[in-house]
Structure 1
């Protein structure tokens, strides 16, 4: 079997609530979901999720190749973009194509990807995460109550500009999850909103009033010294990594003992997650993938020995995607459908007319001018 071509689709996810973080919010609650379909001469199609704007540049590395050679093809894609680099859109494109390759490999073996990767158990421990910065306190509680009913014992709350508000919301979500655990795991994500000059002080203020399991991205993603200072200055673990691309970005953080929970972005693909997990395992550190539509990296998470917990952001899936998994018992229960277990209904996708809100020029994925440069955190 050989790879013959690709097709790009664009669907949306309807969250039913505003979603975002301290840097910006999609008030309409609709976000775009790019899908790439990798075609073969054997009749099978691989499904990859995530942005792939550079697919026209990267695909020649795959054309005519046997899709079963996934890890070799991953390195072939990296080699193909050697001259202009593999960050940003390019790394995302490689990740989406890599996801489609793994989907094909498992489909050829006629088994779910978690089995192809060697997992013994289909259950993936998870924590709830609402991208909840814009929710009112009442909406926040109502949102996490549905996760408590599904057995979840951990959750992540967004914050960064108003410590007192953040502490209050962490306590409210903790109380909801006490239905399942006397001491729920609470994660606190400030999405790089703090500067080096204030991160330790603000993290300590939160920790004095709330028992947090980890604080996520307290400073800029590449700031080894800043992460190390926070890690040394508080009791909770420091988590980071979702925006890092390539092992070369992780090594300085791990070498400096600046991270306690190693994260990966789901949109960077399966091979990236597996390699970062191995690097973290070599440092006796746990790994935790951040959430994305349809939870595709959960298949790989089930197969690595140092997986801690996977972020899950919603109970529903994007328009036109049927996914063979269940969110129950505090985690993801993967199914038996071959590959990623994602079935694409192209007619349903073609029929939908909504547009997403992540990619508009004004944000919310645009870093505010004063991020990290505020003398005093200020609520918006």
Structure 2
């Protein structure tokens, strides 16, 4: 890894006098770009329509932060297929701005970083590049308190019902999907989601019905069309799927078609889920206020971190909506545990090689670990997969 240590002294920092409430300062920040290879190329409906290429690797941006008092936190963001290098470049622009700040002032720091890149907008890549820092600061805060992040936030439960997605991609044969479903259920998973959105919806229905027949009538089953239907096709497909008693139908329409999702949700008995592609609190507020989803699916690394995620949680709870965060279960387990209504957590084993620790899946639920903070640390494999990194400030 090509680390470059840089000492950065923001103008005026040396002369700043801490106030009575200022208890610590950020002294060191490290940003790393890591590529996680997948065992086999993965395809969903976006690939079948020619809009994206198969997924072969995931880019991760890790942020490590240390304060003058020696408290440390780690966070990450990610990008699939494209954008990882751009996120890393912007994260490096932002990192020096954290030096000298009190790590307790997470909301203030989030706004500072957001405005630093505001000329490019306040969503998309700019917010996603902030996420590793924001998440690391929440991890640091919970570790300093000696609490799992869920407990720092105020948990409503110590475990969250958990469903698997990674075994149901369209690039897999139906036989493989059924084998994966059986294996997941045997491992203690609480629900199954498979991908749909093929050109022939009859083939989608055949695959989903085969999974339903395997699972039986009562086991939670979800489908995900990955935004590949128009309004008419979505209406017809969703009505057909209603006979299979699904827990939800995910992303039947373009992620930004809030009105279309709202009309569909109002017309169906089956719940509609969406939100994973939105990249700010403001975009989620539009979705929530138009009643575009029964299950809101924010992604903390995509919306800018835990700070905006908590705003989304509050608004969704206020409007009586359900929560099912997208991906990154290592982060979202803690956030889902703090949601008032019973949520769902998405299970992906893909990220396990990056971390030394494992989450416990038992009885259909993922259990909040007792480890302080988010409860994970980077593995030797993650370090070996790191392509670039830079450090700012000085470690203790």
TM range, smaller chain: 0.7 to 0.9
- Name 1:96's counterpart in structure 2: 132
- Name 2:296's counterpart in structure 1: 262
1:45 aligns with 2:68: no
Change (3 A) 1:4 1:13: same
Partner of 1:127, secondary structure, is: strand
Higher Rg? 2
- Name 2:21's counterpart in structure 1: none
Greater shift in the superposed pair: 143-152 or 94-103: 143-152
2:182 to 136, 141, 145: 145
Greater shift in the superposed pair: 135-144 or 243-252: 243-252
Q: What is the distance in 2 between the residues matched to 1:65 and 1:261?
A: 36
- Name 2:340's counterpart in structure 1: 305
Q: Are 2:369 and 2:375, in contact at CA under 8 Å, matched by a contact in 1?
A: yes
Gaps of 5+ in 2: 1-23, 79-86, 388-396
> How far off is 1:305 after superposition?
0.5
Q: What is the distance in 1 between the residues matched to 2:324 and 2:354?
A: 27
Partner of 2:43, secondary structure, is: strand
Greater shift in the superposed pair: 27-36 or 139-148: 27-36
Q: Are 1:39 and 1:46, in contact at CA under 8 Å, matched by a contact in 2?
A: yes
1:117 aligns with 2:153: yes
Q: Are 1:95 and 1:270, in contact at CA under 8 Å, matched by a contact in 2?
A: yes
Q: What is the distance in 2 between the residues matched to 1:95 and 1:265?
A: 10
- Name 1:19's counterpart in structure 2: 42
1:34 to 51, 61, 83: 61
1:351 aligns with 2:380: no
Partner of 1:76, secondary structure, is: helix
> How far off is 1:17 after superposition?
4.3
Gaps of 5+ in 1: 355-380
Q: What is the distance in 2 between the residues matched to 1:120 and 1:240?
A: 23
Q: Are 1:324 and 1:335, in contact at CA under 8 Å, matched by a contact in 2?
A: no
Higher helix share: 2
Change (3 A) 1:295 1:177: farther
1:8 aligns with 2:47: no
TM-score by length of 1: 0.83
> Which residues of 2 match residues 172-251 of structure 1 at below 5 A?
172-178=210-216, 182-208=217-243, 210-251=244-285
> How far off is 1:318 after superposition?
4.0
Change (3 A) 1:133 1:55: same
- Name 2:81's counterpart in structure 1: none
Change (3 A) 1:335 1:220: same
> How far off is 1:228 after superposition?
2.2
